[in-house]
Structure 1
Amino acid sequence: MSTPKSRSSRNFGIAVLAGLVLGALLGFVAKQTDTAWLTTTLKTIGDVFTSLLQFTVIPLVFTAIVVGVTSLRGLGGARTAARLGGKTLLWFGVTSLIAVLIGIAVGLIGGAGKGVDVEPSATAVDKLATRDHGDWLTVLNGLVPSNLFSAFTEGEVLQVVFVAVLVGIAAYSLGERAAPFVAFNKAIFDIIQKVLGWIIRLAPLGVLGLIGTAFATYGNGFVKPLLSLIASVYVAAALVLFVVYPVLLRFYGKVSPKTFYAKSWTALQFAFVSRSSGATLPLSRQSAVNLGVDPGYAGFAVPLGTTTKMDGCAALYPAIATIFIANLFGISLSGWQYVGIVAVAVFGAFATAGTTGWFTMLTLTLGTIGLPPEVIATGVAIVYGIDPILDMIRTATNVAGQITVPVLVARGEGLLDDEVLAAPPLLDTPEPTPVKEPALV
């Protein structure tokens, strides 16, 4: 029986898709009939929504990183727990690296976003023209702000990330003395999350305006890039889900992929439909236990993975979406920028532990490679129009990784019970928690 929240979530997804379809139709009509007022109206709606998203980027990124770094203190304790935590995080990093490399490869081979050149604002063009990503000196010069406040007021996302990491490490080292500061940042983060929730309620209108403007400007030629993004994400996710994880399980976990999917399929199905790793958590944990993982370790690793282990949302998708957005704006990415994409995927999830989501990771990725806030906000708003379609396979990939890694670590630590692994799945799987309202992070 569906809950009011799950019904609300489905209704919201339907509203966003309706906005996408209606915007495309209105934009197409405006293009064919050369109706200036309709084009202007669509552009105004899209610009307002983009601006609302843009002003949340800087505070969201800063507070997410500060709170995330300081929250890592909770992994301390007994030596065994530290070792398990270290190995768990190491496998998180390894699988994230594999996922982001697959994302980059699929994005480049599939040419996601090619075929349409979207014109960024004049400000964005000016900022792009003054940036050079060809060497480490340029990267370092652009990384360290000459003035602490200018990084925030001028929207230099990469510099904000650098400052946030430094501040987070300092707060971590101070421990209890920095508790009030950490609590303040957590409160700000929660406030931004609340504001984002309000903004996202306008997403159907925002998507209508943005997609409508795109179709009014470029006609039905905008369909191909959107389809290329969907196809690229699903192909990359399928490679991770049905090639990478089975290989790791077979050769490192000594677990049959057939057994793995038989005992985790319910969780993966629910993740695909609900689009929520958090809602799937009880099923994910039970799946790990059914696969023989020690219940105590499963109770630690799976919840940790729910917040930090997101190969779909935090690795392969930001890579593909970044290539898609760069292609839309006619931006050629350099080798160092691809290195930046990989670095954010591998280390970014750890830096934003407990707060990671596709919006935060995509924003961090776009900011790290040097795109200005105007391009970031516009690009993110465009991909949001088809996000419900993408989020289903992303979430299923996230959950599969959140179950896979505990199995691998448990096997290496002698915490995998082969008798339980060989037994039929437990029937008393816990009821999943209600699906939360759609959020941008």
Structure 2
Amino acid sequence: MSTTARRSRLRLNPKLFAVAVIASLVLGALLGYIAKQTGAAWLATTLETIGSIFTKLLTFTVLPLIFTAIVVGINSLRGLGGGRVAARLGGKTALWFAITSLIAVAIGLAVGTLVQPGRGLVIEPDPDKLQAIGEKTEGSWWDLITGLVPSNLISAFAEGETLQVVFVALVIGAATYSLGEKAAPFVEFSKAAFEVIQRVLGWIIRLAPLGTLGLIGNAVASYGNEFFAPLLTLIGSTYVACALVLFVVYPLLLGLVAKVSPVRFFAKAWNVLQFAFVSRSSSASLPLTRQTAQDLGVPPSYANFAVPLATTTKMDGCAAIYPAVGSIFIANLFGIGLGPVQYLTIVAVAVFGAIATAGVTGWFTMLTLTTAALGFPAEVVATGIAVAYAVDPIMDMVRTATNVAGQIVVPTVVARSEGLLDDEVLARPSTPLVDSAEELART
């Protein structure tokens, strides 16, 4: 068997994996129900052990993932210059990325605040950790600022101070960026370390069906059917917030700013939105996304720059809406109160965090970064994410469709503002899906 064939057999099939996670959710709930009804302590203990091991595996990747993602992301911004026109287009693109992210995270927070996903069920972590979080959420801006700086570099990692790790990463990322070639070896090391962590995380994620079985089973054994309502509210909040951005915010921006009919936009973008919804991959949708932007009149030269950049940076579903909703879900799940300082922190991470982690942005990185900025301990972050992962395939479909729509809308708006949008191309029928699919296959 060839090396290519062996690799193809080892590659994870997203559809089968999603089915396996959902099946594990059902099976875990059934085993948890049996354990609760029969009083089978051995079964409850087994489920708890499985879930605990999976959570611990996720926990040890949190801090190095945050650190390397920020350092690598900041340095990836180096290649955005080049000429006055390019600089102006790049600046406008980044500005609209920030504006739409601000709107998206505000909607995510509004929906999350109204629905309060996760409320009604409190998982009890280490009481000392909860007390520390409570002190942070009730503190002032001054307390937040003074708590950012670690006594030394090692203590931030050794003591699991996620907020301090974020601060250290931002400082080191800025320093390496300013040093340029002198810091290239360290940046390359950080890139390699990030890839290593991603690979390890990928291996751990392959255990998600087993982890889901243990976590959901233990939750049902401990709390009964009450555990399903929080998950349903998480799913519902994510879909409602994404739908508001996808079908209200984007059409308004297109109609009022880009002077593009929302009906024409969806007529041309529907194929790629369907593909994104099913594939759950912005990267796999890239050729279709780029072609759709060009069908809307965006010049190919600008589309070839803006769309790939947006694919790794512009993720309103994963990097703005979901971190807001997910943070509220995790806070409610552990009985953590969030105040104005924490809500502003969520907004700041959504607007600036995606830019700071350009090229490595994803829902896991952004939710981890957001909850870290809120001061949640690594074990609380990992446990909350692991619980949410049980229903993640369902949410990821609408998140990805929202991501891809934003990756088309922003270049269209910017092109119109620069007088580059071709109205003749905009008025033409869209490129057949089969042509774009062939391009996708070549890519």
Distance in 2 (CA, whole Å) between partners of 1:299 and 1:128 is 44
Match of 2:80 in 1: 75
- After superposition, the Cα gap between the structure-2 partners of 1:99 and 1:432, relative to the gap in structure 1 and judged at 3 Å, is farther
Alignment of 1:7-406 (within 5 A): 8-406=13-411
CA distance in 2, matches of 1:22, 1:126: 35
- Post-superposition CA distance 1:131-152 (Å, at most 9, x none): 3543111101111112111111
Q: How far apart, CA to CA, are the structure 1 residues paired with 2:421 and 2:33?
A: 57
Q: TM-score, normalised by structure 2?
A: 0.95
SS at match of 1:353: coil
- Secondary structure in 2 matching 1:277: coil
Q: Report how far residue 4 of structure 1 moved.
A: 6.9
Structure 1 CA distance for aligned equivalents of residues 308 and 45 of structure 2: 47
1:324-354 Cα distance to aligned partner (Å, 9 max, x none): 1111111111110000010000000000000
The alpha carbon displacement at 1:125 in A equals 2.9
- 1:392-411 alpha-carbon deviations (Å, 9 max, x no partner): 00000000000000000000
Structure 1 counterpart SS, 2:297: coil
Report if the CA contact (8 A) 1:286-1:430 is conserved.
no
Q: Residues 50-75 of structure 1: CA distance to partner in whole angstroms, max 9, x if unpaired?
A: 00000001111101110110110100
Amino acid at match of 1:52: L
Q: Measure the CA separation in 2 of the matches of 1:360 and 1:352.
A: 9
Letter in 2 for 1:431: E
**How far apart are residue 128 of structure 1 and its match?**
2.6
- Read off the aligned partner of 1:429 and give its amino acid letter: S
Number of equivalent positions: 432
**What SS does the corresponding residue of 1:315 show, helix, strand or coil?**
helix
1:429 to 414, 433, 436: 436
Q: CA deviation at 1:214?
A: 0.8
2:163–2:373 Cα contact (<8 Å) kept: yes
Q: Which moved more, 1:419-428 or 1:118-127?
A: 118-127
Unaligned runs of 5+ in 2: 1-7
8 A Cα contact 1:279 1:432, kept in partner = no
CA distance in 1, matches of 2:179, 2:101: 30
> 1:130, CA displacement in angstroms?
4.8
Q: Which shifted more, 27-36 or 276-285? A: 27-36
Which residue of 1 is the match for residue 5 of structure 2?
Answer: none
* Alignment partners' CA distance in 2, 1:177 and 1:121: 44
Aligned to 1:439: none
2:47 partner amino acid: L
Is 1:121–1:374's contact at 8 Å kept on the other side of the alignment?
A: no
3-state SS, counterpart of residue 278 of structure 1: coil
Give the secondary-structure state (helix, strand or coil) at the position aligned to 2:351.
helix
Letter in 1 for 2:436: T
Paired AA for residue 265 in structure 2: F
Deviations 1:189-245 (A, max 9, x none): 000011011111111000111111110111001111111111110000000000000
Letter in 1 for 2:199: K
Looking at structure 2, the residues matched to 320 and 108 of structure 1 have their Cα atoms a distance apart, in angstroms, of 8
SS of the counterpart of 2:258?
A: coil
Change (3 A) 1:240 1:171: same
Q: What is the CA distance between 1:124 and its match in structure 2?
A: 2.7
8 Å CA contact 1:88, 1:301 repeated in 2:
yes
Which whole-Å deviations, capped at 9, do the CAs of 1:346-392 have from their partners, x for residues lacking one? 00000000000001100111111111111101000000010000000
Aligned equivalents of 1:433, 1:120: Cα separation in 2: 46
The AA in structure 1 aligned to 2:42 is W
Shift of residue 32 of structure 1?
1.3
Equivalent of 2:416 in 411, 418, 424:
411
Separation in structure 2 between the aligned mates of residue 130 and residue 256 of structure 1, nearest angstrom? 50
User: Which amino acid is 2:430 matched to?
Assistant: P
TM-score after normalising by structure 1 = 0.96
State the 4+ residue runs in structure 1 displaced beyond 4 angstroms.
Answer: 3-7
Query: What is the rounded CA distance, in whole Å, between the counterparts of 2:110 and 2:32 in structure 1?
Result: 32
Q: Is the 8 A contact 2:137 2:342 kept in 1?
A: no
Structure 1 distance, partners of 2:138, 2:149, is 15
Q: Which runs of 5+ in 1 are unaligned?
A: 435-441
Letter in 2 for 1:226: L
Q: Shift in Å at residue 122 of structure 1?
A: 4.0
The one-letter code sitting in structure 2 at the alignment partner of 1:381 is: A
Structure 1 residue 7 displacement after superposition: 7.9
